[in-house]
Chain A
Amino acid sequence: MTRVQMTVDGQACDDDVEPRLLLVHYLRDVLGKTGTNVGCDTSNCGACTVHLDGDSVKSCTVLTVQADGAEVATIEGLAQPPTDGDATSGWHPLQKAFHAEHGLQCGYCTPGMIMSSMDLLGRNPSPSEEDVRHGLEGNLCRCTGYVNIVRSVLRAAAELRGETVGDADEGGIGEADVVSDPEHEEQLENLEVAP
């Protein structure tokens, strides 16, 4: 057992751990900080991404003892307390943007996506779509097809630059372009609904 001390989301932690304990398991199983997820065992998916002294790392590839003395930031520490009655008001612009742009479906990749994106925007406050796509290469999402994740990051970037952001992008699927079959509409209205 080795003694480690670190700050996690602003709280001091001090524990005896096995030298082989992965940081992600320390966070999840020892500290109970289950906001950070595990999606693989080959450091491919990025679900476990946290910040270690300000840089994003895959916490499944860091030993807890390597984080001794470090500042660890996870998704759980990202939101500030609400500034008004609105629960989302304290959210980080990335959290707001993922919500506004539907940048998550199941949400399992989301903590990692947000932590990686934060690192990306720290390095490049005005990324192009291509920059975002390449910057998030180490984070896999199986649900969204990435389109709305990219939109989310670009939206957050704009907000962080102090620009005003508008309504969420519905993409092409808002109003349908061709609404057909008045006779079907009628059929629909007259439909017998089985109880």
Chain B
Amino acid sequence: MTALDAPTTDAVVGVTKLRKEDAHLVTGRTRWTDNVQLPGLLHVALVRSPMAHARVTDVDVSAALEQPGVVAAYTGADLVEHWSGGLPCAWPVTEDMRSPVHLPIATDEVRHVGDAVAVVVARTRYQAADATEFVVVDYEPLPVVTDMEAALADGADLADSTLDSNECFTWPMVNGDIDAAFDGAAHVVTRRFVNQRLIPTAIEPRAVVCAPPRDQREFTMWSATQIPHILRLMLALTCGVPEHELRVIAPDVGGGFGSKLNVYAEEAICLVLAKLLDQPVKWTESRTEGYVATIHGRDQVQDLSIALDEDGRIRGLKAKLLADMGAYLQLVTPGVPLLGAFMFNAIYKMDALSFECTGVFTNKTPTDAYRGAGRPEATYAIERLIDEAAHEIGMEPFELRERNWIKHEEFPYETIAGITYDSGNYEAATARAKEMFDYDGLRAEQARRRESGDKVQLGIGISTFTEMCGLAPSRVLGSLSYGAGGWEHASVRMLATGKVEVVTGTSPHGQGHVTAWSQIAAQALGVPYEDVEVRHGDTAVAHKGMDTYGSRSLVVGGYAVQVACDKVVAKAKRVAAHMLEASEDDLEFDRGTFSVRGSPDASRTIQDVALAVFAAHDYPEDMEPSLDSDATVDPENFSYPHGTHLAAVEVDTETGMVHLRDYVAVDDVGKVINPQIVEGQVHGGLAQGIAQALFEEAVYDAEGNLVTGSLVDYYVPSAADLPTFRTDRTETPATSNPLGVKGVGEAGTIASTPAIMNAVVDALRPMGINDVPMPASPRNVWETIQSAAPPVGGDKASGATNGGAA
């Protein structure tokens, strides 16, 4: 306990507790994977293909072996016998899905810039990097596939010469009578949106250390990963190390956002090298290396049509997607767009929905889950489309939304996508957001600026989003052909002194689980918050878990902590009744104390009970002398956070510069364990969603080179690029878990991209503009303005000339 963390006797859930995680992070006493030093540690560097697609005709490592400090060097062929079948994809979305073999080190064909072709091991980092220059690789160029539509054309070049087509899969879903919905509709609005490729850019680069068995029988791997448990299982299956002889540790992990939700080549390589060399090895990616070797996100082309009645009621929606898989399927690559399939209808009621997604191979870095994974793409599409529809039928965008959204009293509501939203109150969040934002005042200012022909136009953007997270009900995942369940595990140990250890299967990397799980356990057990320690991220300590992604940790993992605590209390109650010679039914439990109803002096604290059970001299006949409890919970439903976000942007019509003037986010994430942590999640999510709208894009040239290959060219926003967001929340408890909580990690990212882009388009609408490509960089905005035809009657707002775009 510290002065900053003053104890409180009041409730510990629902109040801000300063984070237990911070002390070592603010003082530099950290445990990042790259910090790990071991006796005899060797350093690993990879030789990577500079070509997007080529046949590898020869790899010669002999000169590298002569270099100072070099201990070993291997080609892909040298190591191919060590991995059975290559790196795993756990989500075969269709039975006939094409899935190329993905070797950790390529043998005869490279398929994207950055594909590994050889590995060098040396005594220092610098020696290993130097020696890679001496590996000689002969490449024979093959045709490069970069464009998804061209890739699907008849006779197209192949991104992978072992496949007969670039089509990975096509996954359809139709609910309701879609033809009837479109036949005779008063309005049909059709748009194509491009959801550009992004690079997640967790600030800690990936790193792996693997130590071979010495005294112990097991391999120990430290990895900057979100998924130590899944990684252990998958490496065991891939590299032939028995699962029980592999221990995976995710020590301090510096952000992930999905980029560390994977089973990567370097993890398999380090495990095999530790086995072959019988010495510990370390690999740490450089940022530039990571930009081609760590998964990317998004990259969809979306064709949408919405059919509406005369009065704006939505009849049906068609969504047809192309999703870029990149060159290989990583852990959940093909499943990402499917997570969006259920979100195109968003908060709206409609009669029919059709969805079809085609996954396409290209010679680019594989895509996979990036913060939101499928739902940001879907939400962007529908929220942009609603604005377009409102414009085309001449209706206020909020009015169109409200006409169609699920009303507060209609929950629980089964959507046209076939899933049931348990709770929500879109009216309340919207009312609050409009009030905070001064929506009417800003609309008036916008009208004035339009009228006066101001060169800086004001745009107002709306996003009334929801999303499905909290991955996930195992049976639903099974029905979508996902390779695992979505349960989570926790155990709670009552120590003899009354202190508590919570062991969780979640694996935090910035989310504050130690603090939040302490709050849940302290509240449930009635012990001081300071008396709870939370252990995680090591398969030898937390033996069971499904890890952290998909805004699942609190709604599934926190739920498991709550259930395990409830079991501890139930056991303690039996012992307390025994100690007090009372009937269990007569006992009350309040803030850590069992007392006999009506005689408050007859009481035992949970700590008294823990000590008595430890001594075990006298406890009920029919139970074990232990209060420790485990819980593995499998949620019955997803979690559906929602909210209303509003953005005000100023667009300089002469330069194309977009200035984000104000951002209001009202989120409904149900009950809240720690408001400060929740707000932090919202802030960080907003920044990443806004970054997609305004700043970031992974650009490839026609030869398959990543043009935005480092932080110099890929624009990750700094503090100077973003405003202070204004946040608030409404609270409609989830009914799918006993805490009433919903996921929050991805909500801000999902909501903010369409809010910003709706604002940018809104600012330019008088110029006849109805879409701006993302990111809305000065160049993209300026070019859009230049190519826009001036509306009939001239356009005094911009003075834009037609056809000016290059």
Contacts and interface: CB of A to CB of B under 8 A. Distances in A.
Interface string B18-39: 1101110111111010110100
A150 interface: yes
Interface string A131-171: 01110111111111111111000000000000000001011
Contact of A106 (B253, B408, B634, B737): B253
A142 B202 contact: yes
B3 A142 contact: no
B322 to A, nearest CB: 28
A100 B19 CA distance: 9
A186 B124 CA distance: 62
A41 B710 contact: yes
Nearest to B630: A195
B683 A144 contact: yes
Contact of B730 (A105, A177, A185, A194): A177
A18 interface: yes
Nearest to A33: B28
Interface in B77-108: none
Contacts of A114: 26
A148 B2 contact: no
A172 B729 contact: yes
Contacts of B682: 173
Contacts of A98: 22, 26
B279 interface: no
B252 A188 contact: no
B26 A95 contact: yes
Nearest to A185: B733
A174 B16 contact: yes
B551 interface: no
Contacts of B125: 25, 29
Contacts of B718: 133, 136-140, 146
A133 to B, nearest CB: 4
A96 B512 contact: no
A18 B124 CA distance: 12
B719 A146 contact: yes
Nearest to A18: B126
Given A42-B710, A100-B18, A106 B720 contact: no
Nearest to B633: A194
A129 B18 contact: no
Nearest to A138: B718
B679 A179 contact: no
Interface stretch (B189-197, B462-470, B669-677): B669-677
B28 A76 contact: yes
Given A75-B28, A177-B728, A170 B253 contact: no
Contacts of A191: 735, 737-738
Given A40-B287, A40-B710, A100-B18, A173 B716 contact: no
Interface stretch (B157-165, B265-273, B684-692, B777-785): B684-692
Contacts of A133: 718-720, 722
Interface string B420-432: 0001010011011
Contacts of B679: 102, 148, 170-173
Contact of B204 (A39, A95, A96, A173): A39
B740 interface: yes
B27 A95 contact: yes
B255 A32 contact: no
B4 A99 contact: yes
Contacts of A139: 718-719
B141 interface: no
Contacts of B666: 177
A12 interface: no
Interface in B579-637: 631, 633-634, 636
B676 A145 contact: no
A149 B26 CA distance: 13
A108 B204 contact: yes
B688 A142 contact: yes
B724 A129 contact: yes
A181 B720 contact: no
B731 interface: yes
Contacts of B2: 86-89
A117 B429 CA distance: 36
Interface residues of B, number: 93
Nearest to A175: B675
A171 B727 contact: yes
Given A106-B509, A144-B684, A179 B126 contact: no
B711 interface: yes
Contact of A178 (B25, B287, B567, B730): B730
Interface in B711-767: 711-712, 716, 718-720, 722, 724-733, 735, 737-738, 740, 748
A64 interface: no
Contacts of B726: 172
A57 interface: no
Given A105-B511, A106-B509, A107-B21, A76 B27 contact: yes
Nearest to A22: B126
Contacts of A36: 28
A91 B26 contact: yes
Given A87-B2, A180-B428, A104 B26 contact: yes
A170 B675 contact: yes
Contacts of B423: 181, 184
* Among A44, A105, A140: residue with most chain B CB under 10 A: A105
A45 B732 contact: no
Interface in B677-715: 677-680, 682-688, 710-712
A63 interface: no
B728 A172 contact: yes
Contact of B203 (A45, A74, A168): A45
A172 B669 CA distance: 14
Given A38-B205, A102-B19, A106-B204, A136 B27 contact: no
Given A79-B27, A180-B408, A145 B16 contact: no
A173 B32 contact: no
B794 interface: no
B566 interface: yes
A42 B510 CA distance: 24
Nearest to B23: A87
B62 interface: no
Nearest to B511: A105
Given A143-B255, A178-B425, A41 B510 contact: no
A143 B684 contact: yes
A140 B288 CA distance: 16
B56 to A, nearest CB: 26
A16 to B, nearest CB: 14
Contacts of B201: 142
Nearest to A146: B719
A25 B686 CA distance: 34
A149 B683 CA distance: 11
Contact of B631 (A29, A87, A170, A195): A195
Interface of A: 18, 20-21, 25, 28-29, 32-42, 44-45, 47, 74-76, 78-79, 86-89, 91, 95-96, 98-100, 102, 104-111, 114, 129, 132-134, 136-150, 168, 170-174, 176-181, 184-185, 187-188, 191, 193-195
25 contacts: A37-B32, A37-B204, A45-B711, A74-B28, A104-B22, A104-B25, A105-B511, A133-B719, A133-B720, A136-B720, A140-B203, A142-B688, A145-B687, A145-B722, A145-B725, A146-B687, A168-B16, A171-B676, A173-B672, A173-B676, A176-B730, A179-B731, A181-B425, A188-B740, A193-B566
Given A35-B27, A195-B631, 4 more contacts: A142-B257, A147-B725, A150-B724, A184-B423
